[in-house]
Structure 1
Amino acid sequence: MAPIDDAPTTEARLLEIVFPDHTNHMGTLFGGTALAWMDKAAFIAASRYARRTVVTARSDQVDFKLPIRQGQLVETIARVVEVGRTSMKVEVKLVAEDLLTGERELCTCGHFVMIALDARGRPTQVPPLA
C-alpha cells in the first residue's frame, strides 16, 4: 500500500455538491449554507492545528463574489493564517467547480477567529505559527 500524503496541519479541505435542497429560489447556494460549510472547515483546520477543542469567536468580513449554482462541486479550503495566544485566524475560501468542464472559480472568501479551549472550557494557549 502506498504511503498517505500528510496534509499540512494548518489546512482543511472539504468537498460538497450543491443539491436542490442547498439552493434558494434563484438556484444558487443559500448564503447560510455557505457560511455553515465555511465555519465547519475553519473548525477542522483550527482543531487540527491546535489539537484542542475549539469554538468560533467571530467571523470577519465574508465576501460573496460569485453565485454558486446547483450541480457545482464546492471545495472549501480553510487555512490557519495567524495565531494569537489562544486564538487562530482562519482564512476560508469557497471554490466552485463545473464537473463537466473542470472550470474553477473563487466564489466566496472570509476569515473566522477560533479560540482553543482547555478541558474546563476556558481559553488555552496554542502553539505559535511556524
Structure 2
Amino acid sequence: MPNRTITEARLLEMVFPDHTNHLGTLFGGQALAWMDKAAFIAASRYARRTVVTARSEQVDFQLPVRQGQLVETVARVVEVGNTSMQVEVELVAEDLLSGERETCTRGRFVMIALDSRGRPTAVPALPSG
C-alpha cells in the first residue's frame, strides 16, 4: 500500500455533567481543549514531527452542545507554511437517539513543527489534487 499523507483527525467524546456549565451546556473551555487536541493530532500525523499550538484564530460558538450529546471533533490541515500548519476544526454535536447532527463550533489553529532541540522545523508541502 502506498504511503499517503494523513491530513485529518476525528475524535469522539460524550458530554457528561463534568463538561458542562450551570445551563447544562458544554463549557467553552472544554470545547477549545477538544479542538486543540484534534488540531494537535492532525498536525502531528501530517508532519510526523513534534508540534505545538502557536495560536487559535476565529473560534465561533454557533450553537450550544448539550449534556448527553455525542461530540465529533474533526480537524483538517488546510494550509502549510515553512514550519507552520493551519488546521480547521469543527465540533459536530449528535443526538444519539434521533441521529440529528449539527455543527456547533468552528475554529482555526496554527500549529508549529519542532525539531529535537525544540526549534521550528520544516514541514512538507500539502499534496496537490
TM-score in terms of structure 2 length: 0.95
CA RMSD of aligned residues (A): 1.3
Matched residue of 2:58: which SS? coil
How many residue pairs get matched?
A: 125
**Which structure 1 residue ranges, 4+ long, deviate > 6 Å from structure 2?**
none
Letter of the 1:46 counterpart: A
- Structure 1 residue 7, shift from structure 2 partner: 9.1
Change (3 A) 1:89 1:103: same
Change (3 A) 1:114 1:69: same
Cross-structure match for 2:113 = 116
**What is the aligned counterpart of 2:40 among 21, 38, 43?**
43
Q: State the percentage of identical aligned residues.
A: 82
**C-alpha offsets along residues 30-73 of structure 1, whole Å, 9 cap, x if unaligned?**
00000000000000000000000000001001000000000000
| Structure 2 residues not aligned, in runs of 5+ | none
Counterparts of 1:78 and 1:7 in 2: how far apart (Å)? 17
**What is the aligned counterpart of 1:85 among 78, 82, 86?**
82
| Structure 1 residues not aligned, in runs of 5+ | 1-5
Counterparts of 1:123 and 1:25 in 2: how far apart (Å)? 41
TM-score in terms of structure 1 length: 0.94
**What is the aligned counterpart of 2:64 among 63, 67, 71?**
67
- Structure 1 residue 8, shift from structure 2 partner: 6.1
